[in-house]
Structure 1
Amino acid sequence: MNMLKIKRIESIDLLKGLVMVVMALDHTRDYFHFSAFLYDPTDPVHTTWPIFLTRWITHYCAPTFSFLAGMSAFLISRRKSTPELSHFLFTRGLWLVFIELTIVNFAWFFDIQFRTPSLITIWSLGVSMIVLSVMIYLPKRIILIISCLVIFGHDLLDNIHFKDNMPWAMIHDGGLFNLSHGYQMLVGYPVIPWIAVMSLGYCFGSFYDKSYSSVRRRKILTYIGITAIITFIIVRSINIYGDPIGWKSYDAISKSMMSFLNPQKYPPSLLYLLMTLGPSLIFLANSEQLKGRIVNFFCTFGRVPFFFYVLHIYVIHVLALVAAQLTGYGWNKMIFHGGWLTDLPGLKGYGFPLWIVYLVWIGIIAICYPLCKKFDAYKMNNKEKRWLSYL
């Protein structure tokens, strides 16, 4: 039983660490690549395959991490009572929403007036935990049914819109809203279907019960992952349901393929979730036996994902200030007073080739790794400090 627990934790931490490191690539591209201030890197009309794939691979990060957060919540339930777990999820969810609107928002914009409060990744995780804190009182079968209904059915809401309605935007639509003169609210991650992704992960945590052998678990997760990928290909090909935009056929096959592989992320469509969670499940199913230095390297980030998330944004943004100053644009251009959308014109022409972006990304990971390793060791040696469980 103890050996199973170690393998299970390591495989989850490995996948968490991988998606966190890949996520850092996307954020590095946001601040350093020339295309970030000119066009959408997934737009078949303007992009190239290297740029497209650099952005596309990062699509796996948010769904995988939200799913694994739910799985981790189930694993915690094995040593906490339901009321204790509910209290932890609720309070940690509130804490994450607070951190999103303060420390994380400042990291993205460096605006001391907080003129563009943004509800993005950490907010969606926080709200999902709050909802999950209530859902765990339901039978797991009911949680599974609700999760699947939301994931497979939420695209029925794609054509329902309410103009300038922030509550609906927070639930499903997303958008940018004027609050007052000079202030805007960005809703980047509506809570549907993110709450269902986390609760689905909670249900999948049951596969790590002692009643499941590693062989049986691997077969089940691999089968579900392959089924998700096949379903994505079939439904995407039909091009009727599962994504509000659908894919387009271009004169060049390569551009059509880009469109096919680019379902909507904001909010994540059914096809987006099938495309990303399917391969993630296959990797999770077949990584329990992996060992070695590389595995340990990524597991370090996977054990302290929140710490790494906050740290890497500050590191990236500070380096971007330096880059903007050295290239003649001025460090102040990287202080986003009105958010990305209104500040982009002043940065047109700024940026570096993709290979430079990759070098900067590697450097950022190298900077963050020793700090994450020290914090991981501190957490391991101070398990009695309850506040560390919130980080």
Structure 2
Amino acid sequence: MATTHRLTSLDILRGIIIVLMALDHTRHYWAITPFSPTDLEHTTPAWFFTRWITHFCAPLFVFLTGISAYMYGAKVQSKLLLRNYLLSRGLWLVFLEITVISFSWQFAFDFVFLQVIWVIGWSMILLAGLIYLPLKLLAAVALSVISLHNLLNDTEILNILGPQLAWLWHLLHVPMVAGQDTQLQVFIVYPLIPWFAVMVLGYCIAPIFKAPKALRYKALASCGLLSIALFILLKISNIYGDPIQFYVQNSLIKSLMSLLNNTKYPPSLLYLLMTIGPGLLLLIAIEKVSNAYPRTPWINWLQVFGGVPLFYYLLHIPVINLSAQLFAWLQYGRTVNFLEGPESWPALYQPNLWLAYLMWVILTLALYLPCKYYLNTKRTSQSWFVKYL
């Protein structure tokens, strides 16, 4: 029963992550802004924190994937089965990213978006080879990559590799748009470093979920609080960890925004400390809440979403995209494309954050029943295809 509660808490956290992720994507389609929501010179607290809260999604989801991989290995008691699962699942995710998911973003075949599903897939493939190493060595590798990758000088490495091999470093560490002058544009948004290390770290910390509750809570709380403290110390001192510096602003809220404004592409050390640290504390809170009886309805809803995260991901992008396009056609006579500049947007268009929140709620409610149906199907079906969604 204790193990069930721990697995339930992981599903609930996944549910929180993907619902927040949907908020970010809804904002991206329904309330496109001519400025970045994290650009302190142009943003407002509402835009900034709407974007900032969704920063937790990718690192926690990658981290939880590592935990789930360890749990699967503990269940099957076979490194071979775990390796085969990671390889097959990873390749499947990479395939989905460059085909179905990439098409969903623009309803076009001339764009490929290499984002979170892509990097999860490749991280699983790498983890398939790393599971044979001792956990302590794996943890040391993961922590070293996460801590030290900000020391990499991308410009020097690109110069060393030269034009012919530059693409490799872009896939590993430097986001870019490739093929801008061709018929196929490739958006490298999530390079592999240090995302694979985040998954490996989740794999290494997973054994704590087999420990007694008191020890588990203490370990998670200690790691979470240490991460938060280290983040604050490094950020306010501007010593190391993120290319974006902290500056005291002309108001408390703007100073807080400066503190929380960190680099996601690629994820800096401070970005990961800022997100994974609180995520560990949230896991403790979720487990305590999920053990309560009677459970509140929203806990059950989140568990449903968290039980079918890939299905939800595949479904929510085209739903949000299509609904936004239909609304724009009715309202302005044409779509509002986030890949285009403001000069090409309809003259009457104004980004409306309240509209984005409203549609986020509506679309999340609309996706609940399909997800619940699929979760029930997944639990009873013997089809490998159903299991892999």
TM range (shorter): over 0.9
Deviates more, 1:142-151 or 1:181-190: 181-190
In structure 1, distance between residues paired with 2:352 and 2:344 = 19
Write the mapping of 1:20-59 to structure 2, written as runs, cut at 5 A. 20-33=18-31, 36-59=32-55
Q: Deviations over 1:42-94 (max 9, x none)?
A: 11111111111111000000000000010000100012210111011011111
Q: Which amino acid aligns with 2:383?
A: K
SS at match of 2:178: strand
Shift of 1:206: 0.5
In structure 2, distance between residues paired with 1:376 and 1:83 = 27
Write the mapping of 1:148-227 to structure 2, written as runs, cut at 5 A. 148-161=143-156, 162=158, 165-178=166-179, 181-209=182-210, 212-227=211-226
Q: Aligned residue for 1:337? A: none
Shift of 1:347: 2.3
Q: Is the 8 A contact 1:41 1:51 kept in 2?
A: yes
Q: Aligned residue for 1:302? A: 306
In structure 2, distance between residues paired with 1:249 and 1:327 = 42
Deviates more, 1:256-265 or 1:302-311: 256-265
Unaligned regions of 5+ residues in structure 2, if any? none
In structure 2, distance between residues paired with 1:166 and 1:246 = 28
Structure 1 residue 316 and structure 2 residue 320: aligned?
Answer: yes
In structure 1, distance between residues paired with 2:275 and 2:184 = 34
Q: Which amino acid aligns with 2:102?
A: N
Shift of 1:182: 3.4
Evaluate the alpha carbon distance shift between residue 134 and residue 265 of structure 1 in structure 2; reply closer, same or farther with a 3 A threshold: same
Structure 1 residue 69 and structure 2 residue 69: aligned?
Answer: no
In structure 2, distance between residues paired with 1:254 and 1:159 = 33
In structure 1, distance between residues paired with 2:99 and 2:141 = 32
SS at match of 1:86: helix
Shift of 1:271: 0.1
Shift of 1:159: 4.6
Q: Is the 8 A contact 2:33 2:351 kept in 1?
A: no
Aligned residue-pair number: 376
TM-score (norm 2): 0.93
Deviates more, 1:251-260 or 1:192-201: 251-260
Q: Is the 8 A contact 1:235 1:241 kept in 2?
A: yes
Q: Which amino acid aligns with 2:60?
A: T
In structure 2, distance between residues paired with 1:107 and 1:204 = 34
SS at match of 2:187: strand
In structure 2, distance between residues paired with 1:330 and 1:160 = 40
Shift of 1:342: 4.0
Q: Is the 8 A contact 2:154 2:174 kept in 1?
A: no
In structure 2, distance between residues paired with 1:28 and 1:181 = 29
Evaluate the alpha carbon distance shift between residue 237 and residue 351 of structure 1 in structure 2; reply closer, same or farther with a 3 A threshold: same
Q: Aligned residue for 2:6? A: 8
Evaluate the alpha carbon distance shift between residue 376 and residue 344 of structure 1 in structure 2; reply closer, same or farther with a 3 A threshold: farther
Unaligned regions of 5+ residues in structure 1, if any? 335-339
Root mean square deviation of aligned Cα: 1.7
In structure 1, distance between residues paired with 2:309 and 2:186 = 26
Q: Aligned residue for 1:104? A: 101
In structure 2, distance between residues paired with 1:354 and 1:168 = 36
Write the mapping of 1:228-243 to structure 2, written as runs, cut at 5 A. 228-243=227-242
In structure 1, distance between residues paired with 2:139 and 2:349 = 47
Shift of 1:179: 6.3
- Of 114, 118, 134, 1:119 maps to 114
**Identity of counterpart residues, as a percentage?**
40
